[in-house]
């Protein structure tokens, strides 16, 4: 995992007990790859190219009040995904501020998203088999 993925993971809010160092470490490690997966999902569904603030707003809107990713953490992960060829980007001048970098998912990004989503679903199901079990404990 490179530094930009760590940045994304560090931005994820803590769970029930954000002060617990073990819980923070667990959340950071768990979230490292999930931020990239969620960004690919958003861009896979997008009908147009999106810039960072638009992506952050979709995360907030679709993730509800419990959105786990801070806006500033998106940019390093977007750059990493772009450098890996999973996203393409273009810079567009803005009359109301600095130029905006718009992102869209590439065909390689779509294939990677499908693969990562399958891995996530298998992992989620595996974990749920153990953590949601109602069987007797020994």
CATH of the domain at 60: 1.10.10.10
Helix, strand, coil % over all residues of the chain, rounded to 5: 60, 10, 30
What's the rounded Cα separation, in Å, for the pair 71 and 106? 22
Which residues make beta-bridge pairs with 89?
103
Question: How many residues in the chain?
Answer: 138
Containing structural domain, residue 20: 3-131
- Asked if residue 136 belongs to a domain, the reply is no
Residue 23 resides in a domain: yes
Number of folded domains in the chain?
A: 1
Q: Is residue 137 part of a domain?
A: no
d(CA 26, CA 124): 15
pLDDT tens digits for the chain (138 residues)?
A: 444 444 344 444 444 455 799 988 888 888 878 999 999 999 999 999 999 999 999 988 887 655 667 778 899 999 999 999 999 999 999 898 999 999 999 999 999 999 999 999 999 999 999 998 765 555
Looking at residue 3, its pLDDT comes to: 44
Is 121 within the bounds of a domain?
yes
Does some domain include residue 66? yes
Do the Cβ atoms of 112 and 36 come closer than 8 Å?
Answer: no
HSE value, Cβ hemisphere, 13 Å, CA-based, for 19? 0
């Amino acid at each position: 995992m490179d530094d930009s993925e760590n940045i994304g993971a560090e931005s994820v809010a803590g769970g029930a007990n954000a002060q617990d160092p073990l819980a923070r470490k667990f959340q950071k490690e768990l979230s490292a790859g999930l931020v990239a997966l969620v960004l690919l999902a958003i861009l896979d569904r997008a009908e147009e190219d999106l810039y960072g603030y638009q992506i952050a707003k979709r995360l907030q809107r679709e993730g509800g009040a419990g959105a786990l990713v801070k806006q500033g953490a998106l940019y390093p992960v977007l750059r990493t995904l772009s450098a890996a060829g999973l996203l393409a980007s273009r810079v567009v001048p803005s009359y109301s501020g600095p130029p905006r970098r718009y992102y869209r998912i590439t065909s390689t990004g779509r294939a990677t998203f499908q693969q990562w989503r399958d891995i996530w679903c298998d992992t989620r199901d595996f974990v749920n088999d153990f953590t949601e079990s109602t069987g007797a404990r020994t």
